[in-house]
Chain A
Amino acid sequence: MGHFIIRRLLLMIPVLIGVSVIVFVLMRVIPGDIALLLAGDHATEERLEEIRQELGLKKPLHQQYAGWLWGVCRLDFGKSMWSGETVLSEIARRFPLTLQLALMTTLITVAISIPVGVICAIRQDSAKDYVLRVFAISGLSLPSFWIGILIIMALVAAFRWAPPLGYVNIWEDPSKNMQILIWPAIAVGFRQAAIQARMSRSCMLEVLRQDYIRTAWAKGLREKTVVIRHALKNALLPVITIIGVEFAFLFGGLVVTEAVFTLPGVGRYLVDAIHHRDYTVIQAIVLIMAVIVSVANLAVDIIYGWVDPRVRLQ
Chain B
Amino acid sequence: MALTKVTKHIVHGSLLVQFKYADLSDTSITSNTQTYQVVGSAITMTPQYGDSILECTFSASYEHDQTGSDSQYAISLFVNGIEEYEHTQLGGGPTGGNSFTQHGGEHDRVYSNIFHSSFRDTKQSVGWVHNHTPGNTNAQVVDVRGRSMDNNGWQLYVREGFLIVKELSMGVNSGSQN
A and B interact: no
- Taking Cβ atoms with an 8 Å cutoff, the residues of A that contact B are none
- Taking Cβ atoms with an 8 Å cutoff, the residues of B that contact A are none
